[in-house]
Amino acid sequence: MDWTQLESACGECRGCELYKTRKNLVFGTGNRSADLMFVGEAPGEREDETGIPFVGAAGQLLDKYLIAVGLERENVYIANILKCRPPRNRDPLPEEGDACIGFLREQVKLIRPKIIVCLGRISAMRLIKPDFKITREHGIIVKKGAFAMTAVYHPAALLRDPAKKEDMLRDMKNIKAYLDSTIE
């Protein structure tokens, strides 16, 4: 499947009920051959309005971290597990994640990033391991199949708990150092 086919199939998906209430499909954005891919859990209200992931306050904070470690948003790829917004920004239901995970897997196959960074606990529990503990395991890079993976605090969590911002900066610096070490 190429990008056009994948996005079209995603837009036509009726695997769960979320397509009925979305304003826009939030497929993903950025460099489609990026070395670094970020994966959140689901779009929020701003993302549903624009069709672009991480454009609200949490996305603006993520952009600041990217800049702080010398990365540009245009050079990474950002997606979510879910491509449609859950009502009232509730956590995704397992069956919603099951309906969407195939689209994310196809995105990963097309991009072939050197590292996948889960944004938050829910994404990490789905992609890294079901019992992932974000407060204990954030920033630890693991190999899973062909990919290096890690998780960082979700930027929305940092807005609620600024005490974790230093941990996030340290994790982002380590991710950048990992990327730099993989350049041939």
Confidence (pTM): 0.96
CA–CA separation, 157 and 139 (whole Å): 15
Q: Write out the two tokens for 106.
A: 């196809």
Length of the chain (residues): 184
What is the full DSSP assignment across 28-81? -EE-TT-SEEEEES---HHHHHHS-SS-SHHHHHHHHHHHHTT--GGGSEEEES
Domain range for 159 is 3-182
Residue 104 contacts residue 79 (beta carbons within 8 Å): yes
How many domains does the structure of the chain reveal?
A: 1
For 90-143, the pLDDT digits (tens) are 989 999 999 999 999 999 999 999 999 999 999 999 999 999 999 999 999 999
- CATH code of residue 54: 3.40.470.10
Place of tokens 């859950």: 86
